[in-house]
Chain A
Amino acid sequence: MTGKTLIYDGSFEGFLSCVFYVFEYKLANISIQSEFAIQNALFSENVTIITNTSKSDRVWKGLKQKASSISSTKIYYAFLSEQLGVENVLLNYIEYIFNSNEKVDTDFTQPSVLKTSQIAKNVSREKHRMEAFVRFKLTKDNIYFANIEPDFNVLPLISKHFKSRYADQKWVIYDIKRNYGLFYDLKTLEIVQMDFPKNFDFSKTDKNFFSEEEFEFQKLWQNYFKSTNITERKNMKLHVQHVPKRYWKYLSEKQPKF
């Protein structure tokens, strides 16, 4: 079987532009891949699709008409998972929605519907975890700084939460895996890219960067965390289930004691 592979720029608009292209030329047997994750299939033809927001807007608008807002949100969430091949699951889902006369976006017996819903669930779980596990540290410049390393690209999903919560302090949340972050300067929220010194240890609190009282509050927090534990009920399995080990690196309460 030979098919076309559509290559896009990695953005959600780019992906929707690919969907537009598929419908415009009534293509079948299509695979969509981000230019950052190209896996060349034998005998397949690559087409680079240029992101076009008027096209992507049309797809998105169409989706909103044929699917509930919950379902279209799920598509966006699943997209942010950046999982290999997720674009093809989403394409199947979107095709299924557009090709049916009835509303079918909640037909969980359809594999692409269920799969999208499951991936979206994973992303939303990680979003929620990031809302919980971000640990700000106060810098000498009076900015609350936090670094994260989420499995999925959840920064766009958590920005609103943090903006409405920390409206009176300057803060940065930086995704060191994807090398971009959010910066709130008391007025607006910006996407920023930062350069860090070489060998900068993100799990430590560097005296050169962070304020003195920062250490005191981390110490208080660590001790609180210890005191509030009930040893008679120790249950490490449950503990690790709730706070998976891959998140421990940047949790102040999980760092060695001061």
Chain B
Amino acid sequence: MSFDRTLEKLKILADAAKYDVSCSSSGSKRTNTNKGLGNATGMGICHSYTEDGRCVSLLKILLTNHCIFDCAYCVTRKSNDVKRAAFKVQEVVDLTINFYRRNYIEGLFLSSGIFKSADYTMERLVAVAKKLRLEENFNGYIHLKSIPGASDELMREAGLYADRLSVNIEIPTKSGLKLLAPDKNFEDFIKPMEKVKNEIIQYKTEKKIIKSTPKYAPAGQSTQMIVGASGENDFQILKTAEHYYKNFNLKRVYYSGYIPISLDDRLPKIGTEVPMLRENRLYQSDWLTRFYGFQTNEIVNLNHQNLDLDIDPKLSWALRNLHEFPVDVNKASKRMLARIPGVGMKSVAKILMARKYRKLNWEHLKKIGIAFNRAQYFLVCDSNLFERRDLSAKKLKAIILKNSNSKYDKLLSPQLNLFS
């Protein structure tokens, strides 16, 4: 391969792919049984982190940034004046294999601009994955983008070689999509997602009867939504996420704070701050529903449509539900332990184990590693020291904020000054 030419393309096509935030390389079950290259089992590995603090786990590139669509929020949109390039199938294969052999990456995340047609593009993506699996004996992780509108046959084939498939809905509301991506059809997003979902269900049933059923997308499906591009609120975003988790069995929904890249007046101006704090709060909420047993409605609902920025969503829920507290750490169910602000799931597990031996007091809890500053107002333990004042939610919030240092202080302080 010509290294100089490849280098040039890599710069363009990595730059264009970086706005896709999905980076996970876990959850697959591809063991290296054929003495081949790679082993994608269980845990994912972040091989490096860029200066923005995001992990580098997969070689994340576009096959090409030529695109027939003109979605306002996208850097590869047809009308944007950027350098265009396209990889050959073999180039992507060589890059992946050689990066993998040096332990730079866990595998490949291949996406693409849409050239000619959806099927033509999807066919190329599948060709790369197929070559890696069949010719190179590659057992590393492959994440392919499902191209909206691709045919069922191609989606079926894609899942045979890829570990994960994803299609980005990007804009959470139909009206937003109409405004920002007028050429795109909402149904086109759903179609490949539906197909992959059904194939996974079918694979799981067949697998029970015939053990050798070929794997189908073992790491499941994911999607991504842009936050802060089309004026949607957190209630809409999290409800949309809930819908996809439930109806399409998604493994992950990613939230991507919009990075202004366009002069288009339908979008935030260039230079507008990336809503990183909001994005963080959305992820926290996502975690609460996936691991802490919360329902989306408890976190956001019609009366509470936006997440608080100055406190985390669990604390916010607790302050709205003070009647549930204090929780007795030595007696409470796992469900309630997980709801105490400042107590994470790791601590919950430790508490459940440790309290079998003796009643836990503050010393024990601190050593276990709970965030005392938040947790102290919401629990009682084997000690007669506990919060006895009947504090209102507002007062409690003020006390907690006063005693905490948030890494977001800088972002928050101007707002706080407004109200003080």
Contacts and interface: CB of A to CB of B under 8 A. Distances in A.
Given A109-B357, A167-B32, A137 B102 contact: yes
Interface stretch (A10-18, A43-51, A83-91, A219-227): A219-227
B63 to A, nearest CB: 15
Interface of A: 104, 106-109, 114, 128, 131-138, 144, 146, 164-169, 216-217, 219-221, 223-225, 227-239, 241-243, 251-253
Contact of A242 (B53, B98, B274): B53
Interface in B47-62: 47-56, 59-60
B367 A114 contact: yes
B354 interface: yes
Given A228-B50, A230-B259, A242-B53, A136 B37 contact: no
Nearest to A106: B353
5 contacts: A107-B356, A168-B37, A229-B18, A230-B18, A239-B52
B102 A136 contact: yes
A176 to B, nearest CB: 17
B45 A230 contact: no
A165 B39 contact: yes
A142 B276 CA distance: 45
A216 B60 CA distance: 19
Contacts of A251: 48
B55 A164 contact: no
B37 A166 contact: yes
Given A132-B45, A168-B36, A229 B51 contact: yes
A238 B274 CA distance: 16
B198 interface: no
Interface in B366-416: 367-368, 407
A220 B38 contact: no
Contact of A166 (B19, B53, B99, B101): B101
Given A168-B36, A231-B52, A134 B274 contact: no
Given A106-B354, A168-B36, A230-B54, A217 B98 contact: yes
B15 interface: yes
Contacts of B51: 229, 231, 234-236, 239
B350 A232 contact: no
Contact of B48 (A108, A225, A241): A225
B45 A169 contact: no
B276 A227 contact: no
A169 B101 contact: yes
Contacts of B47: 132-133
Contacts of B49: 238-239, 242-243
Contact of B53 (A107, A135, A235): A235
A29 to B, nearest CB: 25
A168 B35 contact: yes
A217 B336 CA distance: 52
B419 interface: no
Contacts of B191: none
A164 B54 contact: no
A108 B350 contact: yes
B253 interface: no
B309 interface: no
B50 A229 contact: yes
Contact of A164 (B6, B17, B32, B260): B32
Contacts of B15: 227-228
Contacts of A242: 46, 49, 53, 55
Nearest to A243: B49
Given A165-B38, A232-B259, A227 B102 contact: no
